[in-house]
Chain A
Amino acid sequence: MGELRDAATRVLAFGRKELYAILRQPRLLVTLILGPFLILALFGLGYQQESDPLATLFVAPADSEFTAQLEQESAAFDDRIELLGTVAERTEAVDQLRTGIADVAVIVPSAPIETIRGGERAVFTVLHDQLDPFEQATISLISRTTVDLVNRRLLEELIASGQEESEDLEALLPAARESATALRIALEAGDRPAVEAQRRSLARRLDLIEQQTGSTEVLVESIREQFSSESADSSVGGSLDSLGTLIDDIDPGAIGDPLDAEIKGARQIEAELEALSEQVADFQSIPPDILVSPFGAESSVVGSVDLDITSFYAPGVIALLIQHIGITFGGLALVRERALGTSEVFRVSPVHAAQILAGKYLGYLVAIAVVAGALSLLMFGAFGVPLAGQVGSYVLVLLLLALASLGIGFVISGVVQSDTQAVNISMIVLLLSIFFSGFFLSLERLVVWVRSVSWSLPITHAIDSLRDVMFRAEPVDVRTLWSLGGASFGLFVVGLYLLQWRMRAE
């Protein structure tokens, strides 16, 4: 009992000693708390979803009519493109790229209309001077999007023009339908002269309609194909052709015979013209931009709160910070004892390695809890980062991460010879964590075997779990508990072995 009490006294003594040593360094505490807070604040305030507009030059012959049109078009994209003007020579554009005056130079295709008429795409070549692969990808994306927008705008204009033309068509259709009705009535009455007169009138009006369709027919046709389940036989052109055939089939010389077939044909003509009117009305009623891009896309996350960029990175920042503090504290702890010479006193005293290690864990955990608590308050209070899940789950993940991080630190401390080595290794672990923990690069972007490196890092489990707890209101999953708990225990055992070995070997 007495031995147990003395062991507890020693553990608490080490914990108290470490805590006092940290508390006596207010600058260290301020750095630990305010440093990450300011970084997060700066990131939150300074990050912009969209990059600055690209300073853009066009390269085209001075007399190119297309250039003026392009410049006019590009004004619509002033949030992405800052137009610097047009130069005639590619070399001039390259010089401006190299000197940083321009971000992007767009080489306008020569004779684009001819190229398109030749059945090929007229390609814009985009030059830039960016080395950053992300910026390169951004420029490529903006280029493609902008060209798509230009293409869409051209299509919209074409459709608007077609809709204007279809107004004439629409005006002709009622008269044709009246003629068709009159024809049917004449047929039903067996009035041969009237049938002949109405047949000619209807044929003439259908000729006019056919002349008016032109490009409108193509557009109406394409819309009908996209939005209708009708067969190709009911196309505008097909309808007009069949109307012509139906009219031809109505034989004025057959009056007096049973006229059922002719009356049926006249009714069909009426129905076809009715359908054509509806198609034209549909075509006119849909705005051109909807016709060009009839489908849109919207995405939303299932079971998660809405996140801004600062909130998304907040779990990663606090996890990285706790890991770094834990590793640094642990990494320096035993090295400094050795440097001070206290290890020698411990070896002569009745204190055991396990008591030293447990005491240090205790002291550092309290210090980390203070820092994590302060940072969490700032994070949730000042930045409004959401905590959708339970506080207990959040605390549990941070606790397990702190234990695992201290374990890593003590293992480092057990193998290094100096505090410089300990700090260097801590920095390497930090770098490893930044790149492979999913902090800012999604793990899905890593090849499968590299992901195993990621999942071997305790912080990867912690960030993953913190995001689930904070944003999806999920509890800590069993995998996280086993991973972080197992890592903490294993690292404690290794750290203890190394400490005992050091105490024996030195």
Chain B
Amino acid sequence: MVAIAHPDIASTVQPVVTSRHAAKVFESGDGIRGLQLDVPPGTILGLVGPSGSGKTTAVRLMTGVLEPTSGELEVLGVSPQSFDSATRRRIGYMPQTSVLYPNLSVWENLDFFASLYGREWRSHDALAAALEFVELMGHETKRVADISGGMRRRLSLAATLIHAPELIFLDEPTAGIDPILRRKFWDQFTSLKDEGKTLVVTTQYVGEAAYCDYVAVLADGELLMVETPDGLRRAAYGGDIIDLELTDRPDPTLIERIRVAATAADCRPVGINGLRLVVEEAAVALPSLSAWLGDNGIGITQAEEWLPPFDDVFVELVSRHRNGLEAIDG
């Protein structure tokens, strides 16, 4: 499958990250291939995919930790392998695991990571503000070994943001933390985006795609597509979805008549009296379909757009990708 750069992204001015078929293939054959995307400034790009799909490898390529085996990649206008100190100061990176020193206190850890970027970030106010941002004030004297996993992730986030980077890479920041904290994290990411920062966030929680401006779907070491969250749904099912609940059980003739009336790409029964239609645009199709049903005396109890959970969307996309691969192999 060909990796797709979303047209909206492609049209924006000077992307912060530009990848042209960048690939990193390890000796084992794992890695990521055909990474084709542009990340505009001031957006959140979510890298979504199952474990082993290549999300972390993609982030490591963008941060310069790994060198591409092929393709071209530019971050902030330069190859990650050529980052100078000034460029590195513009980047924040939070790895998958909490990289904190267990014998140091919360404050000392933050102070240490601030020091990596220069003395100005070590001010008391800057450290306090970072801790305030992740709601860790009051815990600054605690040893990291003694705080919870969620607090460590928040401290890691504070350490990543302490030098006010404009491009932030977060590798599974919400992994292993409770839903309430996950929500808080995404609120903070959104707040950072509102400040003009650009975020590249990997996650296994497909539902978190909803918080992103753009979502890159990865599976089996390939970038399947880059889309907006809504675009992802449409891509998964071929359009918007309308659920109808009729008063009577529809026969195949009626089903076909309804599909034609709604100009739906697909219409199939769901349950006893239900129908699920795939239309170009639900907001346009739904009023006209309701009118047509009334004009033709077809009783309905419910007609609404159905927003499939991203888990379903993701499963649909990945299944389609894998079926396609099997078909090619077959």
Using a CB–CB cutoff of 8 Å, the interface residues on chain A facing chain B are 2-3, 5-6, 9-10, 12-13, 16-17, 20-21, 24-25, 340-342, 344-351, 506
B84 CB, min distance to chain A CBs, angstroms: 8
Q: List 27 A-B contacts (CB under 8 A).
A: A2-B118, A3-B85, A6-B118, A6-B119, A9-B115, A10-B116, A13-B111, A13-B115, A13-B116, A17-B108, A20-B103, A21-B103, A24-B143, A25-B103, A340-B99, A341-B97, A341-B99, A342-B101, A344-B65, A345-B95, A347-B64, A348-B65, A348-B169, A349-B93, A349-B116, A350-B88, A350-B118
Give the chain A neighbours of B85 by CB distance below 8 A.
Answer: 3, 350
- Please give me the residue from chain A that is nearest to B159 by CB atom: A345
Given the contacts A17-B104, A20-B103, A21-B101, A9 and B119 also touching, CB distance less than 8 Å: yes
B207 CB, min distance to chain A CBs, angstroms: 27
Contact among A348, A351, A506 with B63 in the assembled complex (CB-CB below 8 Å): A348
Are the C-beta atoms of B117 and A24 separated by less than 8 Å? no
B197 in contact (CB, < 8 A): no
A358 CB, min distance to chain B CBs, angstroms: 13
A345 to B171, CA, bound (A): 12
Q: 6 new A-B pairs (CB below 8 Å) besides A20-B104, A348-B65, A506-B65? A: A9-B115, A12-B115, A21-B101, A342-B101, A344-B93, A350-B118
A347 to B112, CA, bound (A): 15
Are the C-beta atoms of A349 and B65 separated by less than 8 Å? no
A13 to B110, CA, bound (A): 11
Using a CB–CB cutoff of 8 Å, the interface residues on chain B facing chain A are 60, 63-65, 85, 88-89, 91, 93, 95-97, 99-101, 103-104, 108, 111-113, 115-119, 122, 143, 169
Are the C-beta atoms of B116 and A344 separated by less than 8 Å? no
Are the C-beta atoms of B113 and A345 separated by less than 8 Å? yes
A449 CB, min distance to chain B CBs, angstroms: 43
- Please give me the residue from chain B that is nearest to A22 by CB atom: B103
Contact among A6, A24, A341, A345 with B103 in the assembled complex (CB-CB below 8 Å): A24
- Please give me the residue from chain A that is nearest to B85 by CB atom: A350
**A13, A25, A342, A348: which has the most chain B beta carbons within 10 Å?**
A348
Which 3 residue pairs are nearest across A and B when measured between Cβ atoms?
A: A13-B115, A350-B85, A24-B103
- Please give me the residue from chain B that is nearest to A506 by CB atom: B65
A282 to B20, CA, bound (A): 113
- Looking at chain B's contact residues, is the secondary structure mostly helix, strand, loop, or mixed? mixed
A334 to B289, CA, bound (A): 67
Give the chain B neighbours of A2 by CB distance below 8 A.
Answer: 118
Give the chain B neighbours of A24 by CB distance below 8 A.
Answer: 103-104, 143
Are the C-beta atoms of B91 and A348 separated by less than 8 Å? yes
A13 to B121, CA, bound (A): 12
A16 to B96, CA, bound (A): 26
- Please give me the residue from chain B that is nearest to A13 by CB atom: B115
A3 to B119, CA, bound (A): 10
- Please give me the residue from chain B that is nearest to A6 by CB atom: B118
The A/B interface has a contact count, at CB < 8 Å, of 76
Given the contacts A3-B85, A350-B89, A341 and B95 also touching, CB distance less than 8 Å: yes
Are the C-beta atoms of A13 and B64 separated by less than 8 Å? no
Given the contacts A3-B85, A5-B119, A13 and B112 also touching, CB distance less than 8 Å: yes
- Please give me the residue from chain A that is nearest to B122 by CB atom: A9
- Please give me the residue from chain B that is nearest to A5 by CB atom: B119
B185 CB, min distance to chain A CBs, angstroms: 19
Contact among A3, A5, A350 with B116 in the assembled complex (CB-CB below 8 Å): A350
A111 CB, min distance to chain B CBs, angstroms: 79
A371 CB, min distance to chain B CBs, angstroms: 17
Are the C-beta atoms of B108 and A20 separated by less than 8 Å? yes
Give the chain A neighbours of B64 by CB distance below 8 A.
Answer: 347-348
**A2, A6, A340, A350: which has the most chain B beta carbons within 10 Å?**
A350
A470 to B143, CA, bound (A): 43
Given the contacts A24-B143, A348-B88, A340 and B65 also touching, CB distance less than 8 Å: no
- Please give me the residue from chain A that is nearest to B115 by CB atom: A13
Given the contacts A340-B101, A344-B95, A350 and B108 also touching, CB distance less than 8 Å: no
A5 to B99, CA, bound (A): 25
A340 to B97, CA, bound (A): 8
A335 CB, min distance to chain B CBs, angstroms: 14
A331 to B199, CA, bound (A): 37
B301 CB, min distance to chain A CBs, angstroms: 55
B149 CB, min distance to chain A CBs, angstroms: 15
Are the C-beta atoms of A9 and B118 separated by less than 8 Å? yes
B73 CB, min distance to chain A CBs, angstroms: 15
- Please give me the residue from chain B that is nearest to A359 by CB atom: B115
B293 CB, min distance to chain A CBs, angstroms: 58
- Please give me the residue from chain A that is nearest to B84 by CB atom: A350
A51 CB, min distance to chain B CBs, angstroms: 47
Give the chain A neighbours of B99 by CB distance below 8 A.
Answer: 340-342, 344-345
A347 to B63, CA, bound (A): 9
Give the chain A neighbours of B96 by CB distance below 8 A.
Answer: 341
Are the C-beta atoms of B117 and A349 separated by less than 8 Å? yes
Are the C-beta atoms of B103 and A346 separated by less than 8 Å? no
Are the C-beta atoms of B115 and A10 separated by less than 8 Å? yes
Give the chain B neighbours of A17 by CB distance below 8 A.
Answer: 101, 104, 108, 112
- Please give me the residue from chain A that is nearest to B87 by CB atom: A350
A349 to B63, CA, bound (A): 10
Give the chain B neighbours of A341 by CB distance below 8 A.
Answer: 95-97, 99
Give the chain B neighbours of A351 by CB distance below 8 A.
Answer: 116
A9 to B113, CA, bound (A): 11
Give the chain A neighbours of B111 by CB distance below 8 A.
Answer: 13
Give the chain A neighbours of B63 by CB distance below 8 A.
Answer: 347-348
A81 to B101, CA, bound (A): 62
A424 to B126, CA, bound (A): 43
Contact among B65, B122, B169 with A347 in the assembled complex (CB-CB below 8 Å): B65
- Please give me the residue from chain B that is nearest to A25 by CB atom: B103
Are the C-beta atoms of A350 and B117 separated by less than 8 Å? yes
B278 CB, min distance to chain A CBs, angstroms: 43
A17 CB, min distance to chain B CBs, angstroms: 5
Give the chain B neighbours of A3 by CB distance below 8 A.
Answer: 85
B107 CB, min distance to chain A CBs, angstroms: 11
**B99, B143, B169: which has the most chain A beta carbons within 10 Å?**
B99
Give the chain A neighbours of B95 by CB distance below 8 A.
Answer: 341, 344-345
A3 CB, min distance to chain B CBs, angstroms: 7
A350 CB, min distance to chain B CBs, angstroms: 4
B78 CB, min distance to chain A CBs, angstroms: 14
A341 to B119, CA, bound (A): 23
Give the chain B neighbours of A13 by CB distance below 8 A.
Answer: 111-112, 115-116
A93 CB, min distance to chain B CBs, angstroms: 62
Give the chain A neighbours of B93 by CB distance below 8 A.
Answer: 344-345, 348-349
Give the chain B neighbours of A16 by CB distance below 8 A.
Answer: 112
Give the chain A neighbours of B88 by CB distance below 8 A.
Answer: 348-350
A2 to B86, CA, bound (A): 12
Give the chain B neighbours of A350 by CB distance below 8 A.
Answer: 85, 88-89, 116-118
Give the chain B neighbours of A9 by CB distance below 8 A.
Answer: 115, 118-119, 122
A344 CB, min distance to chain B CBs, angstroms: 5
A6 to B89, CA, bound (A): 12
A13 to B114, CA, bound (A): 9
Give the chain A neighbours of B169 by CB distance below 8 A.
Answer: 348
B46 CB, min distance to chain A CBs, angstroms: 20
